[in-house]
Structure 1
Amino acid sequence: MAVTDAEREAMGRALELASRGPRGLNPQVGAVLLSPTGEILAEGWHRGSGTPHAEVDALSRLTPGQARGATAVVTLEPCDHTGRTGPCSLALIAAGVSRVVYALDDPGERSGGGAERLRAADIEVVSGVRADAVRALIGDWLTVQRLGRPHVTVKWAQSLDGRAAASDGTSRWITGPAARADVHRRRSASDAIVVGTGTILADDPSLTARDGDRLLSHQPTPVVIGARPTPPDAAVRRHPHAPLFYDTHDLGVVLADLRARGVQRVFVEGGPTLAAAFLTAGLADSVLVYIAPVLLGGDRLALTDIGVETIARAHRLTIDEWLPLGDDLLAVAHPSGLEEGD
């Protein structure tokens, strides 16, 4: 079915509205209701878990019967399940909407299927409009739905000979200022930053995202994994967000709880043991290795045992990018077999 210029413009507006909603457990969704002549009747967006979905938010701004014959332009396929709110597909049908235009299918087993229900009610449905633009906004949420957990990036810095620290344990600074600034930018793009108790006790990191001494606008929630207690005066306890502590080595349990909290992107920066644990468990979707042109020798390896007993069992990576950062080099990679960007 052909899409009108008014509908394409409305999808752009719906995308703008969607971006106002919070990242989290639910997707960011925007909706615009158009009259049969293409004029905007109402707008809405999803403001977070437990609040009306975008379509219902828009419908609530109209009087009964005002949406009859209207077109609903929505960034995501209207849901078809009852959770904390009712199905948007039924709300649109009840309102008398005659046409629905949306960008992306809802991937949920329970929430998907709204388009099918709308068609069964003799409502015209068009999908795929400005899909790439909408995917750019909610791509992380879509990844969580596909993986069943947050996306995980594992990062470490190392010397050219694969060491994370000198023999006495000192590690500041292996890399230069350009590499460290890049790390802080990537921290800020994440929802949670994860370390082990060993890193907390050895380095007392603040786990903030900074530009020099200035805190960046978005701060990841600090997550500490391990049984050893974190000292009451640890720097992480002064983080803008209250730290989350997990007295477990079950990374699946940790990621499941983070997903339930609405975390979409996890940045693992917790030292050789924790990095190895995520890699061994197959829970690393992206790997960042900052390589400095220094030699340290000794036994302070950047990565501990990951279960590779023979070369045939090596963890093969696909390089996405080699990025020079001052004198250092960043390898951006993902496990072979995963699609780039997953």
Structure 2
Amino acid sequence: MKTALTLAARGLGQVAPNPAVGCVIVREDGEGPRIVGRGWTQPGGRPHAETEALGRARELAKGATAYVSLEPCSHRGKTGPCAEALLDAGIARVVGAVADPNPEVAGRGFAMLQEKGVEVVENVCAAEARHLNAGFFLAMSENRPLVTLKIASSLDGRTATHDGHSQWITGERARARGHLLRATHDAIMVGSATAIVDDPELTCRLPGLGARSPIRIVADGRLRLPLTSKLVRDAMKVPLWLLTLPGGDANRRKAFEECGAVLIDVEPGEDGVMSMRNALAALSEIGVTRLLVEGGARLAASLMRDRLVDRIEWFQAPKLIGGDGYPAIAGLGVKHLDGAPVFELRDVVQLGEDSLARYARGV
């Protein structure tokens, strides 16, 4: 199952709105167990992991065990049910990590297999499987994507000096790891101020992974982004979505659309400002399951206040900028410590002189 989960991770950022699934087919013979087929969900969500693994195992799948990181699907969509494919191949035993939260499956895949005499074992490495596909589970339970907040700061949590100088706070290895994060998310989002000041490309520029650049999203309620920005200039090549308030200037909206940008209207909250909860719901409806947020401080604070950040990837350089620098997160309005957002440290990675602390949402 650990191998199946490792294979599944290859699909992260490439398979939305589908989950990233891995499948390993193991056959017992005179020399002991051996893997005869491996598969993972392919870009675009098809073919599924089970189909890929069965295609590699061929006739050796008969009587074998399939280890699958998510319950095999039981409904007929663009392709036939994976549970049916496993039955047709003669699989004798299926070991599943976790049940599929999709209401169209939700235990039916396991039941279909058991009804036909296949031995089914559930909940093997279930926690790891849920963590891997947290975006898919959140889409089903909360109608929003997984939100990962990426921060690159000094030791005292500053992202730039008082006059706005920020390149480069972290070193080359940390920046490369940040690009890898982009490759494993469906979309990357920044606020309009960050997009205007930094004029970023928001692409994955690791060798060989250029094709895995995520959808670029700018939260821009008033459409302030310059039409001359890098994001707009290459919108025909790498998708650009603008989250904006309804009823903006018609000519400006048309200009963005003619440049290749997609405008998504987001209803405001009670304060008249774009609601991040509504924004995430809109992205989930389109099929985004994993969203990386890279700035700025006000956007991060807005998501934090609404308890919408699930993970934090915090890169820190061994530097101090001081209180007159720009903070990584704007004011949260926390009056008492018991009202502060809580995150649990999962691990720390050393990247040259810099460090990466990885957090997940706590209680």
* TM > 0.5: yes
* Residue in 2 that maps onto 1:107: 100
Corresponding position: 1:191 with 2:183: no
Whole-Å separation in 2 of the counterparts to 1:312 and 1:44: 45
Corresponding position: 1:142 with 2:168: no
Q: 1:271 to 1:32 in 2, by over 3 A?
A: same
Q: What 5-or-longer segments of structure 2 have no aligned partner?
A: 245-265, 267-273
Whole-Å separation in 1 of the counterparts to 2:153 and 2:297: 10
* Residue in 2 that maps onto 1:180: 175
Q: Does the 8 A contact of 1:208 with 1:215 survive in 2?
A: no
Corresponding position: 1:334 with 2:360: yes
The normalised TM-score by structure 1 is 0.71
In the TM superposition, what are the counterparts of 1:80-229 in structure 2 within 5 Å?
A: 80-85=74-79, 87-89=81-83, 97=90, 99-108=92-101, 109-113=103-107, 114-121=109-116, 123-127=117-121, 131-132=124-125, 142-148=133-139, 149-211=144-206, 216-217=209-210, 218-227=212-221, 228-229=223-224
Give aligned pairs, total.
319
Instruction: Please state how far the C-alpha of 1:233 moved relative to its aligned partner.
Output: 2.1
Instruction: Please state how far the C-alpha of 1:52 moved relative to its aligned partner.
Output: 6.8
Whole-Å separation in 1 of the counterparts to 2:89 and 2:155: 66
Whole-Å separation in 1 of the counterparts to 2:214 and 2:111: 38
Q: 1:84 to 1:308 in 2, by over 3 A?
A: same
Q: Does the 8 A contact of 1:286 with 1:332 survive in 2?
A: yes
Instruction: Please state how far the C-alpha of 1:92 moved relative to its aligned partner.
Output: 6.3
Letter in 2 for 1:26: N
Instruction: Please state how far the C-alpha of 1:285 moved relative to its aligned partner.
Output: 1.6
Instruction: Please state how far the C-alpha of 1:303 moved relative to its aligned partner.
Output: 1.4
Identical aligned pairs, as a percentage? 31
Q: 1:157 to 1:127 in 2, by over 3 A?
A: same
Letter in 2 for 1:25: P
* Residue in 2 that maps onto 1:5: none
Whole-Å separation in 2 of the counterparts to 1:146 and 1:200: 30
Q: What 5-or-longer segments of structure 1 have no aligned partner?
A: 1-7, 338-342
Instruction: Please state how far the C-alpha of 1:14 moved relative to its aligned partner.
Output: 12
* SS class of match (1:255): helix
Whole-Å separation in 2 of the counterparts to 1:169 and 1:260: 36
Whole-Å separation in 2 of the counterparts to 1:318 and 1:85: 40
The one of 234, 242, 246 aligned to 2:243: 246
* Residue in 2 that maps onto 1:267: 292
Whole-Å separation in 2 of the counterparts to 1:142 and 1:124: 26
Letter in 1 for 2:138: L
Instruction: Please state how far the C-alpha of 1:235 moved relative to its aligned partner.
Output: 1.3
Instruction: Please state how far the C-alpha of 1:196 moved relative to its aligned partner.
Output: 0.8
* Residue in 2 that maps onto 1:293: 319
* Residue in 2 that maps onto 1:78: 72
Letter in 2 for 1:308: V
Larger radius of gyration: 1
Letter in 2 for 1:298: D
